[in-house]
Amino acid sequence: MMKKDGRDNQMAGRDNHKADRDNQKVGRDNQMAGRAQTVALLVASGFLWSLGGVFIKTTDAHPMVISYARSLTASLCMLAYLRGRPHFVFTRAQCLGALCYAATVTSFVTATKLTTSANAILLQYSSPVFAVILGYLLLKDSLYWYDYLSMGGVSVGLVFLFSGSIGFGSMAGNVVAVFSGLFFGSFMVFLKMHKTGSQVETIILGNLVAVVIGIPFAVLYPVELSALPPVIFLGAFQIALPYILFAKASVRASTLDLALIPIIEPLLNPVWVYLATGERPAPLTYVGGAVLLGVISFRSVIMLRASGNAAPECEK
């Protein structure tokens, strides 16, 4: 009788062990499926963001009018996503963040109209370095060796981009694009300072500010009906939808995925513009873009590796 009980217990143990293995396999499968879905959302976000250049370039309208209509459509779509119940708290950080966001989107559209699309998007991608500097000045964030290296690398990339733009893109457009990066870096810092409420509300508020800024231009430079579909597309599918997808992905995505996967935006943006308009960036733009994106990607990886340990501070 005791031997039979022992055999029964042994069989039950094997069954439990098999069930545990099956549960682990199901868990791994679910994890892989969740990871694939998250990556797909981030790739979709980057792809939709990358369409901004080609639609701005091919839309026959004043850049401030494009910004106005794009932000108006995006605001309505994001309000619908929140079911018309946004939670605005109007803290100092949220208001400043909204102003910086509005300045970002209006300056980016203007820069894309004035210079090559490649220069506009790549120069805007200098924003993390501006965020590092402003974070140090406003939040007293520590500066580490990779921050100084990133600032130096981005400076080199900017030199290449500006040098290569002579004869290819407007210098004024390049300057506006750098300010777009500065404004976007400031927006990142104020989002970090904003502890109450959702980031989506700050983006909605920023779009509404851009709408108010654009109203006089919409009156002075009315657009033809043929220009409405592309700007509506920009608002709905190039701003609102990718931000919603990115927000959904950020719940489960790793920090590295959030930092690196959306970089497909500046890689694809000039490609769509070239296919649609034949616009070719200057040769040095490729060099500057590679340096800039390489530095930003390197900093993201190093930051993640250092996040588990106290990174050594450089002397200030």
Q: Give 269's pLDDT tier (boundaries 50, 70, 90).
A: very high
Can you read off the two tokens belonging to residue 253? 């995505």
Q: What string of DSSP letters covers 272-292? A: HHHHHH-----HHHHHHHHHH
- As a whole number of angstroms, the distance between CA 237 and CA 162 comes to 31
- As a whole number of angstroms, the distance between CA 47 and CA 268 comes to 7
- As a whole number of angstroms, the distance between CA 109 and CA 98 comes to 17
- As a whole number of angstroms, the distance between CA 91 and CA 94 comes to 5
- Average pLDDT over the chain reads 84
Return the percentage of the chain with pLDDT > 90, whole number. Answer: 43
Residue with tokens 């509404």: 208
pLDDT for residue 89: 87
pLDDT for residue 7: 59
pLDDT for residue 197: 62
Q: Residues 215, 157: contact at Cβ < 8 Å?
A: no
pLDDT for residue 307: 64
pLDDT for residue 69: 95
Condensed to tens digits (0 to 9), the pLDDT of residues 226-245 reads 888 999 999 999 999 998 89
Q: Residues 177, 107: contact at Cβ < 8 Å?
A: yes
Q: What is the pTM of this model?
A: 0.82
Condensed to tens digits (0 to 9), the pLDDT of residues 202-228 reads 999 999 999 999 999 999 999 888 888
Q: Which of 81-95, 253-267, 280-294 has the lowest mean pLDDT?
A: 253-267
The more confident residue out of 275 and 313 is 275
pLDDT at residue 309 is higher than 50: no
Return the percentage of the chain with pLDDT > 70, whole number. Answer: 82
Condensed to tens digits (0 to 9), the pLDDT of residues 181-192 reads 999 999 989 988
The more confident residue out of 102 and 90 is 102
Q: Give 171's pLDDT tier (boundaries 50, 70, 90).
A: confident
pLDDT for residue 248: 83
pLDDT for residue 1: 55
